[in-house]
Chains A and B, each alone.
Chain A
Amino acid sequence: MYEQMAVIRRTEKAAYDLFLAGLVKGTTHLASGHEAIAVGASFALRPDDYVFATYRGHHHAIARGATPEACLAELMQKATGLCKGKGGSMHLTWAPGNMLGSYAIVGAHLPIAVGAAWSAHLRGTSQVAVAFFGDGATNIGAFHEALNMASIWKLPVIFVCENNLYMEYTPIGAVTAADHPAADRAPAYRIPAKIIDGNDVIVVRDTVAEAAARARAGEGPTVIEAETYRHYGHSRTDPAKYRPAEEVERWLKHDPLDIARARLEALGVTPDTIKSIDEKADAIVAAAVDAAKNAPVADVREALTDVWADGGSAWRT
C-alpha cells in the first residue's frame, strides 16, 4: 500500500511540474494528500468491485490499476493516454480495473454508482460499488437522491466523502448546514456513517472492508467521511491563499505517507527498505514521464470515433 501511495504522490508532482512546463494544458485537480483514501479503499475491495471518482481522480485510477504512464499521457494529450486523449485529467477511466470513471459534474456519479450497485444486486454477484466524492458534493441534489435511493433499495454501495475542508475555494463550513457534511446527513437517509482519519491508510482499509462486508451481506449502504487535506490548491496552480498558514502546516505534518511509514516502522520494516520503495517509486514515475513525453500526440482519426457502440459517430443516412 505504501508503494502505491508513493507512486501516486510522485505522479501528482509530475503532473504539477508538467503543467508548469506547459506540457499539460487545460486543468488538473491533484490528489496529493488524498492517497490513503484511494489506496486503503482499493486494498479493501475486490477486483470486480466498481469505483467511481470525481475530477480529482488520478489517485483512484492508479489505485485500480491504471499506469502512471497512461495517466500522464492522457494529461499530455497523447495517443497512448488512458482515454486516447479524448477525456483529459478530469475523466480518467480504467474499465479493466472496474474504475468506471472520473466525473466532472459535482455529485453526478453518485446516482451512477447506485445504478452499478443496483445492477450487482440484480445479477446477484455480491459486487460492491464505491462512490468517492468531496465535501462540496454533499450539498448538490444528486447526493441526496442517491443516498435516499440506495437506502430504500438497500443497495451495496459505499459513499466515501473525501472531506478536505474546502469546497473549491470556500471553507465547507461556510456553505453547509451540518458540521460533518456527509456523516451528519446519512442518518436522515437511515444510512450508518463513520467519520475517520482519511490519512491513515490502515484505518481507511479497515473501515471500507467493514462497509463492503455489510453491503455484500445485503445490509445496504454506508457513508464514510474521511478527513483529509489537499497539498496543492483546488486546480491547476491555485496557490490556495484562502487557507490559513497554520492549518496548512498542521495538515502537511499529518501526511498520509508519513503515517504509513511510521506504521511500517512499527511493524519492523527498516528505513532502508522504505528508502528502496521510495526509490522504486521515483524510478517508476520518472520512466512514466519519459514514456509519456515521447509518445505520439492523439490520433486525429479518433476525433470522430467512439460516440456509438459500433465505434462510429454517424448521425444521419
Chain B
Amino acid sequence: MTETEIITYREAVAEGIAREMRRDPTVVCLGEDIAAAEGVFKTTVGLLKEFGPRRVWDTPISEQAIVGAAMGAAMTGMRPVAEIMFSDFFAVCWDYVANEIPKARYMTGGQVTVPLVLRTANGGGLGFGAQHSQAVENWALTIPGLKIVAPSTPADVIGLMAASIRSDDPVIFCEHKGLFATKGPKPPEGHVVELGKANIVREGTDVTLVGLASTVHTALAAAERLAADGVSAEVIDLRCLIPMDLSTVLASVGKTSRLVTVEENPYQGGWGATLVSVVVDEGFQLLDAPVKRVASENVPLPFADTLEEAVIPTVDKVVAAVKSVVNF
C-alpha cells in the first residue's frame, strides 16, 4: 500500500511552481534571492537547478522593476511568477499592484491581458516586526482587477498555485509565513484547486466560522474546544478573497444561522467587512444573532510575542465570540 507523502507548506510552494514550469515553458520566475539562494524562506528550492537561469531570475532590490517587468512580460506572451519577499513590500510597488496591473485590460478596452502571479510571504507570527508581518491580502481586495489567493495547507498551496499560474488574470498569491513549517499530504500530479471555491473543512450545525490561511487553523482549534462545550462549529476555509465564494458561506449560514469571521487583518479594513455586508444583506432572514468579526486590533503589529498575541485573533477570542452569538 502506498503511503501518501507528507510535505511542508514551504516545500509545497516550490513543488507547485515546479509542476507548472514543467508543463508550460512560458512560466518564468523572478524575485530577490529566489534563484541561487533558493528563497529567503526556502520556498524556491530546486527551481534554479531544475530549470536553469533562463527561467529563474535573481533580481536587484527593485520592487517596482520586478513587478513592472513581470507585467510587461505577461503582456507579451510569458507567464511570470514574481516574488515580493514580504507582503508588506507591496507598498513599495503599489503603483503596479493598484494602478497598472489591474487596470490595463479594462482601460484598453480588452486589448491586453496580464497573466501573472505575484507571490509573497504574508502575515505574522514569527516576530519580524510591524513592517514584515502584516497580513495584507485585504489591501488588494479594495482594487477590482486582481484575483487574491491565500492557501492554508500544502495541498492547497499546490492546487491553488496551479490554478493561479494557469489563470489568464493577475493573481496575488499570499503564502503565509507562519505556516511554512506546517505539514500535510502531498497531492497527486495534476492537482488543481479552482479559484473561487471555498472549502468546508469541518462540518457543523450551530455556527459558521470563516477563516483564511492562518486563521483557518485558529478556527479549527476553536471548533475543537467548542465541541467539548457542546457547540458544533462549521469551519469554512475561504481560500480566495477574489473570487469570493459567498454562495458557500450563505449556504452554511442557512444551516447554522450564526456567523463569525476570523481575520488576521486589522478590524477596520479586514476582508470580513465585505463578506459580512453581503451576508447581512442577502442572508438577513437566515441570521438568528448578530454577526461577529474576530480580527486584529487596529494597531501596527508589535514585535514581542505577548504583545502580538494581544493583537491578533486567537483561539480564546474566537471561542468567546462564538459563545456570545450562540447565547444571544
- Interface status of B316 (Cβ within 8 A of chain A): no
Q: In the complex, what residues of A have CB within 8 A of residue B167's CB?
A: 309
Pick the interface stretch among A82-90, A244-252, A274-282, A286-294.
Answer: A82-90
- Cβ B245 vs Cβ A316 within 8 A: yes
- Cβ B95 vs Cβ A108 within 8 A: yes
Q: Given A95-B108, A108-B95, A129 and B113 touching (CB < 8 A)? A: no
Q: In the complex, what residues of B have CB within 8 A of residue A82's CB?
A: 109
Q: In the complex, what residues of A have CB within 8 A of residue B144's CB?
A: 307, 313, 315
Interface flags for A89-118 (1: CB within 8 Å of B; 0: not) read 001011100001101010011111111111
- Interface status of A149 (Cβ within 8 A of chain B): yes
Q: How many residues of B contact A (CB 8 A)?
A: 52
- Cβ B244 vs Cβ A116 within 8 A: no
Residues from 42 to 81 in B contacting A, C-beta threshold 8 Å: 54-55, 57, 59-60, 62, 64-65, 67-78, 80
Q: In the complex, what residues of B have CB within 8 A of residue A268's CB?
A: none
Q: In the complex, what residues of A have CB within 8 A of residue B68's CB?
A: 108-112, 114-115, 142, 145-146
Q: Given A100-B75, A108-B68, A148-B65, A83 and B243 touching (CB < 8 A)? A: no
Nearest opposing residue in chain A for B68, CB measure: A111
Pick the interface stretch among A10-18, A119-127, A167-175.
Answer: A119-127
- Cβ B108 vs Cβ A93 within 8 A: yes
The CA of A34 and the CA of B7, in the complex, are separated in Å by: 59
Q: Given A101-B108, A119-B78, A317 and B99 touching (CB < 8 A)? A: no
Q: How many residues of A contact B (CB 8 A)?
A: 55
Interface flags for A284-317 (1: CB within 8 Å of B; 0: not) read 0000000000000000001001111111011111
Nearest opposing residue in chain A for B107, CB measure: A87
The CA of A262 and the CA of B105, in the complex, are separated in Å by: 42
Nearest opposing residue in chain B for A79, CB measure: B109
- Cβ A145 vs Cβ B62 within 8 A: yes
Nearest opposing residue in chain B for A113, CB measure: B72
- Interface status of A50 (Cβ within 8 A of chain B): yes
- Cβ B243 vs Cβ A306 within 8 A: no
Q: Given A119-B72, A145-B65, A316-B246, A91 and B107 touching (CB < 8 A)? A: yes
Nearest opposing residue in chain B for A112, CB measure: B72
- Cβ A86 vs Cβ B109 within 8 A: yes
Q: In the complex, what residues of B have CB within 8 A of residue A84's CB?
A: 109-110
* Residues on A facing B (Cβ under 8 Å): 50, 52, 81-88, 91, 93-95, 100-101, 103, 105, 108-120, 122-123, 129, 141-142, 145-146, 148-149, 152-153, 302, 305-311, 313-317
For the complex of A and B, the 3 pairs showing the least CB-CB separation, nearest first, are: A115-B72, A111-B68, A309-B168
Q: What are 22 A-B pairs at a CB distance below 8 A?
A: A81-B109, A83-B111, A84-B110, A86-B108, A87-B107, A88-B107, A91-B107, A93-B111, A111-B71, A112-B100, A113-B72, A145-B60, A145-B62, A145-B68, A148-B62, A149-B60, A149-B69, A308-B105, A310-B168, A315-B144, A315-B242, A316-B243
